[in-house]
Chains A and B, each alone.
Chain A
Amino acid sequence: MPPLKELPTRPSPAGRSKLNRRQALSLLATGMAGGLAACSKPDEQILPYARMPERIVPGEPLKFATTLALAGIGRGVIVTSIDGRPIKVEGNPRHPGSLGATDVFAEAAVLSLYDPDRSRTILHDGAIAPRGGLYRALVTELSEARSSQGKGLRLLTGRSTSPTLLRQIDELLEAFPTASWHAYDPTDDENARQGAQLAYGQPVRGIADFAKARVIVALDADPLGHGPDQMRIGRGYATGRGDANAFSRLYCLESALTITGAKADERLALRPEAIERFAAILAREFGATTGATDLPERERLLLQKITVDLNSHKGEALVVAGPAMSREVHALVHWINAKLNAPIRLIDPVDRTPSGKQAGSLEQLAGDLDAGRVRQLVMIGVNPAYDAPADLHFKARAEKAPFRLHMGEYADETADIATWHVPQSHRLETWSDLRASDGTASIAQPLIKPLYESFSEHELLAWLTGAEDARAYELVRQTWRSAAAADFEAWWQRVLHEGIIAASGSTAVSLTAPLLPPLSVAEPHDKPDDEISLVLRPDPCLWDGSYANNAWLQECPKPLSKQVWGNALALHPDEATRLGLTSGDVATVGANGRSIEVPVLTDPGTAMGVGALTLGGGRQKAGAIGNGVGASAYTIRTSDSSWRLSQIAIKQTGRREPILTTQNVVRTPEDVRELYPQYRVGQSLPPSAAITDPPSLMPPAVKSGDGHAWAMVIDTSVCIGCNACVLSCQAENNIPVVGPEQVAMGRDMHWMRIDAYDHGAPDSPQLGFQPVPCMHCEHAPCEPVCPVAASVHDSEGLNAQVYNRCIGTRFCEANCPYKVRRFNFFGYADGEEYGNLGAESYRGQKNPEVTVRARGVMEKCTYCVQRISGARRTAERENRPLGPDEVRTACQNACPTRAISFGDLNQADAEINRRKSDARHYALLGHLGTRPRTTYLSDVRNPARSDSERRI
């Protein structure tokens, strides 16, 4: 890792004066004299609050609703702030994009906020510059632009749904009529937009209601995977998996394993071309005329099942296509969905300006740049120098614009090529507004004053239109002033409090029936075996690479491979063998004359003839954490095929680079059977394999009926392994990051892990997820072995770890059958942090209610004892008993599918007791007699049966 980056390393061209020895010495003397003169502390008065600011009670958390963005889409959150420091992100139940849950990116936002690598000052040609200098430069440039009506002015933003920003863009384009606005998001699904255009003649967006869908067919799509809508779709999916009589069925055809494929009831791995052909033939079943011919046996059988299911569930059936599918397939899917009367609401795109302007593409901008038509290039919140498709040569072409202004949270690769860089405030530092994918708007309010001298993108746009004094707060309020009712202030207060602007969602557009696109279905030409398509995916942890400097996300195990600190090319084991590669071999992946080197990871869920790679690796200027981690797929990506590259060449390099993982995916059938029971819907379950008490001479460890009895039940059937709980736990409990070297040593600190079990046949993996926090066993094996009583049971059934008492024998972890305890081998959080994680600013994130554990101490899940205690205090203050489901643990709160429930066994009406009476209830390794308080509901799948035994 490169050393901590504190200041820009390029010398200022202006300040590069050559000092001679005499001058240097005199400066030194002056400096010393100045230092001596200034070394006494200035007088200052410290006074306690004469009057306590309203609501601020030291140490008491405050919660504020705000909005975070992923790929420009807003997701409402509620942020906990203690003494003015935002420390934890929770979901906002009112917000349609969150529904009370979070995802890894929302959880990790608080860490990014305190990232010391964030850009802190305005830079001019890489050197620190005063704000006045920027203003002067802007005035010059803008007056030039004004004279030409903005002919040479180009604005490049990410995908933006912010009504204020869009309004400002409109204003900018009014002021500079010949200027143009471009938007680029590396995770954009261009094919979906064009597919809608083909089908409906306009680029509508489909908002599918997964809760209503009883049959879902995913064509190389990953709706349950990470993305702006994961929480909404996850919740919908879970809703459809609750009632055994109306249990949804998820079909998935995909080129490489995704979360959706893992949770699918029927899954088939096919190369993308074959999936497209399959889609065409599926359309034929609904009356389309396609020239497609027969399918291979397995696909034909699946097609039969899908057709029957779709036809029998009109109005409750849904087909979704992924970004790697061609626009024709997307159009086709629209057409099928219309036939099925699928529960999809079509809305206008949410990223248009109020006057209806749509952003131009990055390709157009690159063309303009190349042609020398751009004089002023303003880039806000984007990093095209890193993530633009390689064939655009953005970096080289951008240099042709003389004035290049970049605004971003980091002085990243694009800041490196910009003439001016302006630090952008973090979402938690500034006012803004955002729309959810269904158009619902919400305000993003700051939780903290900007830590550094940074600015809002609204302020920058205001500068461009000549309003130098505009503040983001006023700009956002201005946008909504007209929308509000008569009493704006009251409306504003309510909107801020609720975290959502009611009835601001897009209404469904009424459209005529979609057109069937012209289908040019490729014949099943038998491609030579050695032809491999590369499928690109957003990374489940780093997304498009913009989160690369977030250590939590770098060390978050990817859901399906459990890889951390890097990405890898997924190949089917047979494919890898054919290419002479094994897991950990570094391969050269070449396409269109460009190539990258990336380690190979064999995954039986990948289709033959397919390699899968995630975006987000290989950052050069991400910061101390993210630099040089993984390989950058953007290096071989092209603008015409963003998500799928055909005819790639994979070659051995002879080098090896071990894949860093924190745990194994369990594939041995006996282990899976024992640890991850799984049933089919309607199958009669064996008598509850829950907790049985073997005869014992031991007295009962915990007397129930004595106060509370905390317990947790996790429903593995709806767990999608998204890691939100893992990150939520990390944020809540001050869990440190250990770094790649330590992971390679087999060490990690996560209190909660998600075990992945493959319960499919050897040739068709089917993954299930099992989150594993501490089991809080009633007969905890860790307790009797601790020589100093650091591992003890409390009266409410918590298995508590007394950090101060722990001397680090590690006998508890040695004796823990579940291996849920984590040992601080080094001072991971206490003096020996990885990279720059010990930097002062990171301390702001620490939860003051949870101890930061020292070196040499064992630690583990506490069932968020601080939350239990907090809820108890509240209840006592209000002089009432604690409600049945009042305590919510961090992991439970984060879960988008509500797989985790927590509560008091002694309260009959607690949700947890309902779940415990479920026939699927089981205890992990229950036969050991540990009597775990954390128990599970087994996984249920709903595979299609042959016609004879069809139930639904």
Chain B
Amino acid sequence: MSEVLAAEHPAAHRWIASERADDLAMTQAVADPLFTGFGRRWWVALLITLPFVLWLFGAIGWLFYRGIGIWGINSTIVWGVAIANYVWWIGIGNAGTLISAMLLLTRQKWRASINRFAEAMTLFAVAIAGLMPIIHLGRPIYAYWLAPYPNTMALWPQWRSALVWDFWAIISYLLFSLLFWYVSLIPDLATMRDRTPHRAGQLLYGAFALGWRGSAREWSRLQTLHTTMAALGVPLVCSVHSIVGLDFAASLMPGWQESIFPPYFVVGAMYSGFAMVVVLAAAIRWGLSLQAIITHRHFDVMARILLMASIVMFYSYATEWFMGWYGGEHAEREAVRFEFTGTYAPLYWALLACNCLIPQLLWWPFARRSLFILLPVAIAINIGMWLERILIVWNTLSHGYMPSLWRNFHFTFWDWTFLIAPLGLFAFLFLIFMRLIPSVSMFDMRELAHEEAAA
């Protein structure tokens, strides 16, 4: 593929690493690969992810056929990998909208080069996350009972349950994310409609572009709508993960019933989400040769956010420990002791290393700008955040109030399956997305280029 915009080092502008990036070059850099195809690299990647997709759907079929006993959950630890995955994926799904909405409202222009695929990431992650609570059910066929629909049983959901709140949180977040993403996609869809050489593309992009002509009035309406939605989105981002936090906090169990959980979950979500954006940005930048648009400075900014979040996470953990001790409750202290010394202690120490210790590397500007350091750090954060979620589930349930029923979780093949295979599905969906839709917001980038005086 041709590089329309060659990246320069050091970057010529703040957010664009090219001396000249006029509108045409910017558009071509993003849109042209979609018309010419990505070549072998893309196909190979797709073929690698495809088995994971099949594996996941096969596993879901087997799960429905055999029942959730195929997982390592037991009478005491009734939750397991599905719940941890759910929280983790929701967390990943948090960053996209957060980046778009929060950074839009705070006028962080650099978001332009990453918000599109970050939002796509959100969509896919939330969709996968939404799958988890359903397959986690003992009787998934009745998952729709969570919805308040008129029925002969004259029963509504039980509104006091955090799971019902969750249901609404996920649904509304998913719908919102989809709309928000779509709204900001319309001008680019119109660009695609106008540029695509294929008839099918013209029809398809044309249909979704909703007749966008790029008039000043349309731009004005779009911006109003987008900003308004962003203002709606920020609280939603916070609420969705707060409510996930409430799944645990609104309980009675030691290690769960903590009022810090909602904010701590939101920060945790942002943390893992940004880490995932870093990983994806690196992949897209390399895959689509967008070095000129996604610059080292972008990574630097995101790394700063990661560093900040890691400190907040450490603070949250420390609060948990302190309150466990300060509260004086035997079970709470025991829960903290178990975290550090119990069956899963190695994992807990690994969690602390991944989430608190390793990200401290990012204090060094060099580390923030070197993908060879930043990428492993981001991956470590994602691993650490998954460990955090599984340990929240395991530690409390393994070591609750009744010592007679303290048990350990036995990881089975199917636990591994539901941990790994969704990653494949995510990558698969993301590859499809890259192939069909401009991964970077072209109109935002053009605007940025003008502001940066690169155009």
Q: Does B155 contact A (CB under 8 A)?
A: yes
A619 CB–B CB distance under 8 Å: no
Q: Are A666 and B137 in contact (CB under 8 A)?
A: no
Return the chain A residue nearest B407 by Cβ. Answer: A746
Question: Shortest Cβ distance from A525 into chain B, in angstroms?
Answer: 42
Q: A395 to B203: give the CA distance in the assembly, Å.
A: 88
Q: Are A674 and B138 in contact (CB-based, < 8 A)?
A: no
CA distance A824 to B408 in the complex (A): 18
CB distance from A675 to the nearest CB of B (A): 7
B75 is an interface residue with CB less than 8 A from chain A: yes
Q: Are B138 and A818 in contact, with the CB atoms below 8 A?
A: no
Contacting pair A781 B405 (CB below 8 A): no
Could you tell me which residues of chain B, from 372 to 410, have a CB within 8 Å of some CB in chain A? 397, 400-410
Are the C-beta atoms of B139 and A806 separated by less than 8 Å?
A: yes
A746, A755, A788: the one within 8 Å of B404 (CB): A755
Measured CB to CB, the closest approach of chain A to B21, in angstroms, equals 51
**In whole Å, how far is B365's beta carbon from the nearest beta carbon of chain A?**
45
**A917 CB, nearest partner CB in chain B, Å:** 27
Give the distance in Å from the alpha carbon of A805 to the alpha carbon of B138 in the complex: 12
Please tell me if the beta carbons of A746 and B163 are within 8 angstroms of each other in the complex.
no
CA distance A925 to B76 in the complex (A): 17
* Interchain CB contact (< 8 A) of A784 among B66, B68, B161: B161
B67 at the A interface (CB under 8 A): yes
How many angstroms between the C-alpha atoms of A529 and B40 in the bound complex? 75
Answer yes or no: A718 CB below 8 A from chain B CBs: no
Closest to A857 in B: B138
Q: Determine whether the beta carbon of A813 is less than 8 Å from that of B160.
A: no
B402 touches A781 (CB 8 A): no
Q: Closest approach, in angstroms, between the C-beta of A149 and any C-beta of chain B? A: 63
Nearest-Cβ distance from residue B169 to partner chain A, whole angstroms: 13
Chain A nearest CB from B8 CB (Å) reads: 55
In contact, A825 and B68 (Cβ under 8 angstroms): yes
Q: A807-B139, A817-B400 are in contact. Are A663 and B330 (CB under 8 A)?
A: no
Q: Which of B69, B155, B400 contacts A805 (CB 8 A)?
A: B155
Is B76 a contact of A807 with CB atoms below 8 Å? no
CB distance from B257 to the nearest CB of A (A): 9
Neighbour of A819 across the interface among B73, B400, B408, CB < 8 A? B400
A746-B408, A746-B410, A787-B161 as given contacts; A925 in contact with B401, CB under 8 Å = yes
A746 pairs with B76, CB closer than 8 A: yes
A856 within 8 A of B: yes
B74 within 8 Å of A (CB atoms): yes
- Taking the closest CB of chain B, its distance from the CB of A698, in whole angstroms, is 11
The reply on A668 being an interface residue by CB < 8 A is yes
Q: Closest chain A residue to B79 by CB distance?
A: A814
Stretch at the interface among B24-32, B45-53, B247-255: B247-255
The smallest beta-carbon distance between A847 and chain B, in angstroms, is 22
A755: chain B residues at CB < 8 Å are 402, 404
- A670, A671, A785, A857: the one contacting B162 at CB < 8 Å is A785
Q: Are B158 and A784 in contact (CB under 8 A)?
A: yes
- A748, B163: Cβ atoms closer than 8 Å: no
Q: Does B222 lie at the interface of the complex (its beta carbon under 8 Å from any beta carbon of A)?
A: no
How far, in whole Å, are A756 and B409 apart by their CA atoms in the complex? Answer: 22
Residues of A within 8 A of B137 (CB): 807-809, 856
Whether A842 sits at the interface, judged by CB under 8 Å, is no
A residues 653-704 touching B (CB-CB < 8 Å): 663-666, 668, 670-671, 674-675
Instruction: List which B123-141 residues lie within 8 A (CB) of chain A.
Output: 133, 136-140
What is the chain A residue whose CB lies nearest that of B250? A785
Number of interface residues of A (CB under 8 A): 52
Asked whether any CB of chain B lies closer than 8 Å to the CB of A480, the reply is: no
A827 at the interface (CB under 8 A from B): yes
Question: Which of A787, A806, A822, A856 has the most CB atoms of chain B within a 10 A radius of its CB?
Answer: A787
Chain B residue numbers with a CB within 8 Å of A814 are 78-79, 251, 253, 397
Given contacts A664-B406, A825-B68, A825-B69, contact A787 B251 (CB under 8 A): no
In the complex the two chains form, is A822's CB within 8 Å of B75's CB? Answer: yes
Contact between A856 and B252, CB atoms less than 8 A apart: no
Considering the complex, give the chain A residue whose CB is closest to the CB of B133: A809
Interface flag for B103 (CB, 8 Å): no
Determine the chain B residues whose CB is within 8 A of the CB of A756 once the complex forms: 404
Q: Which of B309-344 contact A (CB under 8 A)?
A: 330
Instruction: Assess whether A919 is interfacial by the CB under 8 Å rule.
Output: no
From known contacts A807-B138, A809-B163, A825-B67, infer whether A786 and B253 are also in contact, taking CB-CB under 8 Å. Answer: no
| Residues of chain A in range 801-821 having any CB-CB distance to chain B below 8 Å | 805-811, 813-815, 817-819
Contact flag A824-B161 (CB < 8 Å), given A675-B402, A746-B408, A813-B75: no
Asked whether any CB of chain A lies closer than 8 Å to the CB of B287, the reply is no
The CA of A51 and the CA of B162, in the complex, are separated in Å by 58
Instruction: From known contacts A807-B137, A811-B163, A823-B138, infer whether A745 and B158 are also in contact, taking CB-CB under 8 Å.
Output: no
Contacts known (A786-B161, A807-B139, A808-B139); A664 close to B75, Cβ less than 8 A: no
What chain A residues lie within 8 Å of B145 (beta carbons)? 787-788, 805, 807
The reply to whether B403 and A664 form a contact with Cβ atoms under 8 Å apart is: yes
B163 touches A856 (CB 8 A): no
Instruction: Determine the distance from Cα of A813 to Cα of B73 in the docked complex, in whole angstroms.
Output: 12
Nearest CB of B to A453, in Å: 39
Evaluate whether A826 and B69 lie within 8 angstroms (CB atoms) in the complex, with A784-B160, A787-B163 already known.
Answer: yes
Q: Give the complex CA separation of A744 and B259 in angstroms.
A: 36
- Taking Cβ atoms with an 8 Å cutoff, the residues of A that contact B are 663-666, 668, 670-671, 674-675, 742, 745-748, 753, 755-756, 772, 781, 784-789, 805-811, 813-815, 817-819, 822-827, 832, 855-858, 925, 928, 930
Nearest 3 CB-CB pairs, A to B? A808-B138, A856-B138, A746-B74
B residues with a Cβ closer than 8 A to A are: 66-69, 72-79, 133, 136-140, 142-143, 145-146, 153, 155-158, 160-164, 167, 247, 250-253, 330, 397, 400-410
Between-chain CB contacts (< 8 Å), 9 pairs: A666-B403, A746-B76, A772-B404, A785-B162, A787-B167, A788-B158, A807-B143, A813-B78, A855-B138
